[in-house]
Structure 1
Amino acid sequence: MKILWITSVYPSKEQPGNGVFHETQVQALKKLGLSITVICPTPQNHAVIRTLKKTYKRKSLPFFEVRNGVEVYRPIYTALPGQLRWAQPDKRIAKAVLETIQDKQIQFDMIHAHFAMPSGGAAHIVSRELEKPWLLTLHGSDVHVYPSFSRSANRAFQRSVHAADEVVAIGRNLAEAAQKKTGRKSIVLPIGINLSEFNYEEIPKEKVRKELQLPSDKKLITFIGRLVKEKGVYELADSLNRLPDDMAVVLVGDGPARDDLKKHEHYGKRLFLPGQISNDKVKDFLQASDIFALPSYSEGMPTVVIEAISMKVPVVCTAVGGVPDLFGEYSHLLIQPKSVDSIVERVMDYTSGKYDLSAIKGNLFKSVQDNFHVGRNAVILEERYRKLALGQSHLTKH
């Protein structure tokens, strides 16, 4: 069976950490014998706008590449500043996708779109034009954030969710939020990770830290992700002002906040910015850490948190998106977003012995092993694909 994926994020040589969770799932589906083609439309602002502001410039990505045996196309579409608020790009993205399908003679049985907007809106148009069934996966921001931007954004969200032949949500809380907003039920299927790559090993932190050029004399609180305000990186950096001197923060990744963070008073002493890393280095940074922190303002089901739990690293994370589902009985340990106080309190709780970290890590590890293996979840997704392609899906439209 041939599946066309439409998504706004997918790893590339230039941006290896962008949408790694998608590639992990694609590779698991490929092992089941499915043929996946990915179209990842790339926004490009008008030349005039690109000259006005540096943030509108983007690294050039190849139109076509084969990544680990999967064909990935990145057609360009014209983007407008703030388009998800007032000028939905559905039609422009759909045009780029349809032209790519036609020009490259891409054959497929059905479409799998990720994020209700903008990919979902584009998939709806492509599905209607080519008379193919389509499945939509909701990830978090497309439910919790984007629909509140404007009436136009909410209409686009509602339209995508109701138009899909089947809807999947990556967490129970997300499914409930989507149903509350749209009236439509979703199938709950978490994003899996390759647990064999993130298996717990007893390796001395000093050895790993030496290889990564990280300090060996401090307790390390590590963040891995895009360096943007919405990930809570400023609050995490500022927590150093209230944490003991033997603690340091490592912000792994790249993004527009990087230059500001380099101006922080603790930069180079207790605040470290190793830069963008490839996915195979994530395990090393987690092994080097005493605590993993993700104080995001919003999330779906962050795979890096699942990876940290798989490595038995204590996690300080905000109670957003699907994270409470992941933490289950330990959801009371999650913190509030935009709060330096909450970060400091939880870090001190973990390091002072207030909680039985061994039991917490062990129980969360078991939960991840049982529910978040990408191979298991790929089998369930393949079943949904086959029912949809054969027109046998018990659609969640009613």
Structure 2
Amino acid sequence: MVKLKIALLGSYLPKIAGTEIYLSKIAQGISESGIGVHIITYSYGRPVGKELVKALPTVNLKYLRGMSYVLLSSLYAKLKERKFDIFNAHYALTSGLAATISNLRPRVVTCHGTDIFNGFRNALYRGVLKYVIETSNHTVFVSKYLRDKARELGINVKYSSIIPGGVNKPTPPIRGKAWLKRFLLNLDTSYYVVSFLGGLYAHKGAHLTVDIAYMAQKILKRDICLLIIGDGPLRSWIRERAEKLGQKAIITGYVRHKHVRQYLQASDILIVPSIEEGLGLSCLEGLAAGVPVVAFRTGGIPEIIRNMSNGVLVEAISIKEMAEKIALLIENKELRSKIVRKGYETAKQYSWKNCVEKYIKLFYKLARNERR
């Protein structure tokens, strides 16, 4: 079999968010299979394995960052076009647009969430999305929900597939949670830890976390510590809100992905209060760490979480209901154990190995068709 050379376009590590983790796992898995991988990314991008990373000199300002990446990546990829067999752009409105402008073929566009949601915000985004997706050779959506939303925008998704992300091998619930609370978090073991994993953005519901923990503490009449695993523009606001309410909170800031599970295992509950969500990799991370998940019923999350079976779903955006479910799980040990057990079984169904294999199969299929 002819070994392919793949160009992956998109935001990359060390920035940690769902898209970056997904892209890095795809890149590492494909590279380990013997396929050549070249990543065309933003100025902060760095390699983590055998993959080659081209970090372009993008402008590190909010609105210019994406625009400069579209311009530079489209020019760079066009100049190097003959070196690659497949172009896979992650995030339709930046990388996908760059690959489309350059008419790179065959090209696969992977949609992660906010790229599709932005199509509902104005006609310009909607037009760009429609053009990028309908002119690509194939479109990958990370959830069935996202593909359905693309259809709602009037986009033809005939040539598409669904490839959800995954998690590293799940680990059974640990017995040393009290030790982790004391030594990893420097917490008294009397505290219950409610954690949030992800970028500190409004669409992730990060601004709701303090009030959720505070209300749960009032219901339980027990001490709760809010553990925020991640960083982002709402960090200062969250800290100030916690101080105002007198809610104990720990914000870790940036945590390398390989250390995330340790923090999750120090937690009693993981909350996922996302207002918009393509799939919900943080849900999978919680299940794989043996932590019960309480999430808003938004986006692709119900494709992973089944209410009162392997997790708990509440209606968005009900702070009160989420707080009540946190209290229920903390007080009901039998229910909590059942949910953790079933969540662990769910996590085993989502592996990065399966995800990578689906991409490799797709890439070879497109490459064969292009050579005809």
Matched-pair identity in %: 22
Selected match of 1:73 from 50, 54, 60: 54
Partner of 1:210: 182
Q: Deviation string for 1:274-319 (max 9, x for gaps)?
A: 2221112101111100001121111112222211101221001122
AA paired with 1:286? L
- Equivalent residues of 1:21, 1:193 under 8 A apart: no
Partner of 2:327: 348
How large is the RMSD of aligned CA atoms in angstroms?
2.8
Residues in 2 aligned to 1:134 and 1:200: alpha-carbon distance in whole angstroms: 40
Shift of 1:254: 1.4
The SS at the match of 1:243 is: helix
Query: 1:355 and 1:169, CA in 2 relative to 1: closer, same or farther beyond 3 A?
Result: farther
Query: 1:377 and 1:201, CA in 2 relative to 1: closer, same or farther beyond 3 A?
Result: same
Partner of 2:138: 166
Partner of 1:6: 9
The SS at the match of 1:316 is: strand
Q: Deviation string for 1:147-201 (max 9, x for gaps)?
A: 0221111101111111110111111222222233213243111112222xx4225
Partner of 1:190: 164
Selected match of 1:138 from 89, 102, 111: 111
Partner of 2:126: 154
Q: Deviation string for 1:337-362 (max 9, x for gaps)?
A: 33321321221221232972333222
Q: Which moved more, 1:99-108 or 1:67-76?
A: 99-108
Residue 376 (structure 1) aligned with residue 354 (structure 2): yes
The SS at the match of 1:345 is: helix
Residues in 2 aligned to 1:265 and 1:204: alpha-carbon distance in whole angstroms: 28
Partner of 1:229: 202
Residues in 1 aligned to 2:275 and 2:40: alpha-carbon distance in whole angstroms: 28
Residues in 1 aligned to 2:284 and 2:5: alpha-carbon distance in whole angstroms: 29
Query: 1:270 and 1:25, CA in 2 relative to 1: closer, same or farther beyond 3 A?
Result: same
Partner of 1:33: 34
- Equivalent residues of 2:74, 2:101 under 8 A apart: no
Residues in 1 aligned to 2:129 and 2:60: alpha-carbon distance in whole angstroms: 18
Partner of 1:52: none
Residues in 2 aligned to 1:4 and 1:331: alpha-carbon distance in whole angstroms: 37
Shift of 1:116: 1.6
- Equivalent residues of 1:25, 1:192 under 8 A apart: no
Q: What runs of 5+ residues in structure 1 fail to find an aligned partner? A: 43-60, 394-398
Partner of 1:263: 240
Residues in 1 aligned to 2:17 and 2:115: alpha-carbon distance in whole angstroms: 20
Residues in 1 aligned to 2:78 and 2:161: alpha-carbon distance in whole angstroms: 32
AA paired with 2:157? R
Residue 219 (structure 1) aligned with residue 189 (structure 2): no
For residues 9-88 of structure 1, the aligned pairs below 5 Å read 9-12=11-14, 15=15, 19-41=20-42, 61=44, 65-77=46-58
Partner of 2:340: 361
- Equivalent residues of 1:299, 1:320 under 8 A apart: yes
Q: TM-score, normalised by structure 2?
A: 0.87
Partner of 1:287: 265
AA paired with 1:367? T
Q: Deviation string for 1:230-266 (max 9, x for gaps)?
A: 2212221012332234222111221111112222344
Residues in 2 aligned to 1:301 and 1:117: alpha-carbon distance in whole angstroms: 18
AA paired with 1:288? A
Query: 1:16 and 1:148, CA in 2 relative to 1: closer, same or farther beyond 3 A?
Result: closer
Selected match of 2:303 from 325, 334, 343: 325
Partner of 2:76: 100
Q: What runs of 5+ residues in structure 2 fail to find an aligned partner? A: none
Query: 1:368 and 1:66, CA in 2 relative to 1: closer, same or farther beyond 3 A?
Result: closer
- Equivalent residues of 1:194, 1:375 under 8 A apart: no
Query: 1:120 and 1:315, CA in 2 relative to 1: closer, same or farther beyond 3 A?
Result: same
Q: How many residues align?
A: 358
The SS at the match of 1:38 is: strand
Shift of 1:363: 2.4
